[in-house]
Structure 1
Amino acid sequence: MAEDHRHETHPEIVKRLKRAEGHLRSVVEMIEAGRACLDIAQQLHAVEKAIGQAKKTLIQDHLDHCLDDVVGPLARGQRRAIDEFKEITKYL
Protein backbone atom coordinates (compact mmCIF):
# COMPACT_ATOMS: atom_id res chain seq x y z
CA MET A 1 0.00 0.00 0.00
CA ALA A 2 1.34 3.44 -0.92
CA GLU A 3 2.10 5.83 1.90
CA ASP A 4 0.02 8.96 2.37
CA HIS A 5 1.91 11.66 0.51
CA ARG A 6 0.47 15.14 0.89
CA HIS A 7 1.90 18.61 0.80
CA GLU A 8 0.57 22.04 1.69
CA THR A 9 -0.08 22.84 -1.96
CA HIS A 10 -2.24 19.79 -2.67
CA PRO A 11 -5.55 21.48 -1.73
CA GLU A 12 -4.66 24.36 -4.10
CA ILE A 13 -3.84 21.86 -6.84
CA VAL A 14 -7.15 20.05 -6.32
CA LYS A 15 -8.98 23.38 -6.53
CA ARG A 16 -7.27 24.20 -9.84
CA LEU A 17 -8.02 20.78 -11.28
CA LYS A 18 -11.68 20.98 -10.27
CA ARG A 19 -11.87 24.37 -11.97
CA ALA A 20 -10.29 22.83 -15.09
CA GLU A 21 -12.79 19.98 -14.88
CA GLY A 22 -15.65 22.49 -14.91
CA HIS A 23 -14.14 24.33 -17.88
CA LEU A 24 -13.69 21.04 -19.72
CA ARG A 25 -17.33 20.09 -19.14
CA SER A 26 -18.26 23.51 -20.56
CA VAL A 27 -16.13 22.86 -23.64
CA VAL A 28 -17.90 19.57 -24.32
CA GLU A 29 -21.31 21.25 -23.89
CA MET A 30 -20.25 24.12 -26.15
CA ILE A 31 -19.15 21.74 -28.90
CA GLU A 32 -22.35 19.73 -28.60
CA ALA A 33 -24.39 22.96 -28.76
CA GLY A 34 -22.55 24.13 -31.89
CA ARG A 35 -20.98 27.20 -30.27
CA ALA A 36 -18.43 29.33 -32.10
CA CYS A 37 -14.89 27.98 -32.39
CA LEU A 38 -13.43 31.15 -30.85
CA ASP A 39 -15.53 30.67 -27.71
CA ILE A 40 -14.52 27.00 -27.52
CA ALA A 41 -10.85 27.84 -28.02
CA GLN A 42 -10.99 30.37 -25.17
CA GLN A 43 -12.44 27.73 -22.83
CA LEU A 44 -9.87 25.17 -23.95
CA HIS A 45 -7.16 27.71 -23.22
CA ALA A 46 -8.55 28.11 -19.67
CA VAL A 47 -8.47 24.33 -19.19
CA GLU A 48 -4.92 24.15 -20.48
CA LYS A 49 -3.73 26.98 -18.22
CA ALA A 50 -5.36 25.51 -15.12
CA ILE A 51 -3.87 22.06 -15.70
CA GLY A 52 -0.47 23.52 -16.56
CA GLN A 53 -0.41 25.59 -13.38
CA ALA A 54 -1.47 22.58 -11.31
CA LYS A 55 1.35 20.54 -12.83
CA LYS A 56 3.90 23.29 -12.27
CA THR A 57 2.84 23.71 -8.63
CA LEU A 58 3.03 19.95 -8.03
CA ILE A 59 6.49 19.63 -9.58
CA GLN A 60 7.91 22.63 -7.74
CA ASP A 61 6.44 21.40 -4.46
CA HIS A 62 8.00 18.00 -5.07
CA LEU A 63 11.39 19.55 -5.78
CA ASP A 64 11.18 21.82 -2.76
CA HIS A 65 10.30 19.02 -0.35
CA CYS A 66 10.97 15.54 -1.69
CA LEU A 67 14.26 16.28 -3.44
CA ASP A 68 15.63 17.95 -0.33
CA ASP A 69 14.60 14.92 1.74
CA VAL A 70 16.52 12.57 -0.56
CA VAL A 71 19.62 14.73 -0.97
CA GLY A 72 19.84 15.76 2.66
CA PRO A 73 22.07 18.49 4.03
CA LEU A 74 24.89 19.61 1.75
CA ALA A 75 27.64 22.18 1.93
CA ARG A 76 26.87 25.49 0.22
CA GLY A 77 29.09 24.69 -2.79
CA GLN A 78 27.45 21.32 -3.32
CA ARG A 79 23.99 22.79 -2.84
CA ARG A 80 24.40 25.34 -5.66
CA ALA A 81 23.63 22.92 -8.51
CA ILE A 82 20.46 21.68 -6.81
CA ASP A 83 19.31 25.22 -6.05
CA GLU A 84 19.91 26.23 -9.68
CA PHE A 85 18.03 23.16 -10.90
CA LYS A 86 15.05 24.06 -8.71
CA GLU A 87 15.19 27.66 -9.91
CA ILE A 88 15.31 26.78 -13.63
CA THR A 89 12.26 24.53 -13.37
CA LYS A 90 10.18 27.65 -12.71
CA TYR A 91 10.55 28.39 -16.43
CA LEU A 92 8.97 25.13 -17.57
Structure 2
Amino acid sequence: MSSSAINTKCWICAERATFIEIDHANRKYYQCSAPDCGDFAISWRAEESKSDSHTFKEHLKSLANKHRGSDKVPLVTIGSDQNVKIEVINKTAL
Protein backbone atom coordinates (compact mmCIF):
# COMPACT_ATOMS: atom_id res chain seq x y z
CA MET A 1 0.00 0.00 0.00
CA SER A 2 1.03 3.57 -0.62
CA SER A 3 1.83 5.68 2.41
CA SER A 4 0.08 8.83 1.14
CA ALA A 5 -3.46 9.04 2.50
CA ILE A 6 -5.74 11.48 0.71
CA ASN A 7 -8.47 13.31 2.65
CA THR A 8 -11.83 13.01 0.93
CA LYS A 9 -15.48 12.11 1.42
CA CYS A 10 -16.45 8.47 1.77
CA TRP A 11 -17.65 7.00 -1.53
CA ILE A 12 -20.46 5.21 0.32
CA CYS A 13 -21.82 7.72 2.83
CA ALA A 14 -20.10 11.05 1.97
CA GLU A 15 -18.76 11.47 5.52
CA ARG A 16 -15.12 12.36 6.25
CA ALA A 17 -12.70 9.67 5.06
CA THR A 18 -9.25 9.03 3.69
CA PHE A 19 -8.17 6.75 0.90
CA ILE A 20 -4.93 5.22 -0.21
CA GLU A 21 -4.35 4.16 -3.80
CA ILE A 22 -3.41 0.48 -4.04
CA ASP A 23 -2.77 -2.03 -6.81
CA HIS A 24 -0.93 0.50 -9.00
CA ALA A 25 -3.81 3.02 -8.56
CA ASN A 26 -6.39 0.54 -9.86
CA ARG A 27 -8.09 0.41 -6.45
CA LYS A 28 -8.69 2.67 -3.47
CA TYR A 29 -8.67 1.61 0.17
CA TYR A 30 -11.10 3.89 2.03
CA GLN A 31 -11.09 4.45 5.78
CA CYS A 32 -14.38 6.10 6.73
CA SER A 33 -14.82 7.96 10.02
CA ALA A 34 -18.63 7.53 10.21
CA PRO A 35 -19.65 5.18 13.04
CA ASP A 36 -22.19 3.37 10.86
CA CYS A 37 -19.83 2.85 7.88
CA GLY A 38 -16.27 1.49 7.83
CA ASP A 39 -13.24 0.54 5.77
CA PHE A 40 -13.50 -0.94 2.28
CA ALA A 41 -11.54 -1.24 -0.95
CA ILE A 42 -12.95 -0.64 -4.41
CA SER A 43 -11.62 -0.65 -7.95
CA TRP A 44 -12.02 2.51 -10.01
CA ARG A 45 -14.14 0.57 -12.51
CA ALA A 46 -16.52 -0.58 -9.77
CA GLU A 47 -16.67 2.98 -8.41
CA GLU A 48 -17.77 4.25 -11.81
CA SER A 49 -20.18 1.38 -12.40
CA LYS A 50 -22.01 1.72 -9.09
CA SER A 51 -21.67 5.44 -8.35
CA ASP A 52 -25.44 6.05 -8.63
CA SER A 53 -26.66 2.87 -6.93
CA HIS A 54 -28.03 3.71 -3.49
CA THR A 55 -29.01 0.07 -2.88
CA PHE A 56 -25.50 -1.16 -3.65
CA LYS A 57 -23.92 1.49 -1.42
CA GLU A 58 -26.24 0.57 1.48
CA HIS A 59 -25.26 -3.09 1.13
CA LEU A 60 -21.55 -2.21 1.05
CA LYS A 61 -21.98 0.15 4.01
CA SER A 62 -23.51 -2.68 6.05
CA LEU A 63 -20.62 -5.01 5.14
CA ALA A 64 -18.00 -2.36 5.93
CA ASN A 65 -19.62 -1.69 9.30
CA LYS A 66 -19.88 -5.42 10.08
CA HIS A 67 -16.10 -5.78 9.69
CA ARG A 68 -15.19 -2.49 11.41
CA GLY A 69 -12.31 -3.02 13.82
CA SER A 70 -11.43 -6.45 12.42
CA ASP A 71 -8.65 -7.58 10.12
CA LYS A 72 -11.16 -8.02 7.27
CA VAL A 73 -12.38 -5.56 4.66
CA PRO A 74 -14.88 -5.76 1.77
CA LEU A 75 -13.23 -5.53 -1.65
CA VAL A 76 -15.37 -4.48 -4.64
CA THR A 77 -14.13 -5.29 -8.14
CA ILE A 78 -15.41 -6.03 -11.64
CA GLY A 79 -15.08 -9.73 -12.45
CA SER A 80 -14.02 -11.27 -15.74
CA ASP A 81 -17.75 -11.66 -16.51
CA GLN A 82 -18.04 -7.83 -16.22
CA ASN A 83 -20.26 -8.08 -13.13
CA VAL A 84 -19.50 -6.30 -9.88
CA LYS A 85 -18.36 -8.65 -7.13
CA ILE A 86 -17.78 -8.16 -3.43
CA GLU A 87 -15.49 -10.37 -1.41
CA VAL A 88 -14.31 -9.99 2.16
CA ILE A 89 -10.53 -10.28 2.39
CA ASN A 90 -7.81 -9.80 4.99
CA LYS A 91 -6.48 -6.25 5.09
CA THR A 92 -2.98 -7.67 4.76
CA ALA A 93 -3.94 -8.83 1.22
CA LEU A 94 -4.40 -5.23 0.13
Higher relative contact order (CA 8 A, sep 6+): 1
Larger radius of gyration: 1
TM-score normalised by the chain length of structure 2: 0.25
TM-score normalised by the chain length of structure 1: 0.26
Greater strand fraction, Structure 1 or Structure 2: 2
